Structure 1
């Protein structure tokens, strides 16, 4: 993770330099703002990866003598099949359609989003996946 953190931090420095150059030369606010926001996103990801790298074991990508097989194995726990993302996607699509067609669609999308979010957060507290 140290390598990825450094890469994103250097990328953020590059994007910041390009944002300043673009802002001075073009005097166009939309593109300049987008580049500064991209800088913010890059620095957040880089800081997170560098911060996390200090708290986890050294991975194969941080060892210059490592083989590809050294990084094999279990990557973590991933949730089994879940219907909650579908509910969130439909609710989100309705919410964005509410911006276009009328705010009254929010009355239908907000409950779908809340049900999907609640179900996704608490899906391991009930049913066959309940933690004992």
Structure 2
């Protein structure tokens, strides 16, 4: 995880330099703002990965002598059958479509997104998936 943090920190430095060069050269505020926001996102991710790397065990990706098989094993738990992300994506698509078509479409997309997000967060607290 340490190497990913360093990569994002170097990426954030590059984006910052490009944002300054682009802002001075083009004098266009929208692209300059987008580049500065991308810098902020990259530095947040780099800081998080670097901060987390200090608190977890050294991974195989941080060892120069490691083999591919050293990183094998269980990655984590993933929901085998969840419909909630699909409904959340449909609600998000309707929300973005509301910008182009009309804001009235938000009356349909906002409840769909809220219900799907609620269902996704709490899907293991009800029914057959309930943990004891």
Same fold (TM over 0.5): yes
The separation in 2 between residues aligned to 1:23 and 1:103, in whole angstroms, is 33
Residues 1-132 of structure 1: pairs in structure 2 closer than 5 A: 1-132=1-132
Q: How many residues of Structure 1 are paired with residues of Structure 2 in the alignment?
A: 132
Q: CA RMSD in A?
A: 1.2
TM-score normalized by the length of structure 2: 0.93
The answer for unaligned runs of 5 or more in structure 1 is: none
The separation in 1 between residues aligned to 2:25 and 2:104, in whole angstroms, is 44
Q: Deviations over 1:14-43 (max 9, x none)?
A: 111111122122222222222111111110
TM-score normalized by the length of structure 1: 0.93
The answer for unaligned runs of 5 or more in structure 2 is: none
User: What's the CA shift for 1:86?
Assistant: 1.4
User: What's the CA shift for 1:114?
Assistant: 1.4
The separation in 2 between residues aligned to 1:114 and 1:24, in whole angstroms, is 42
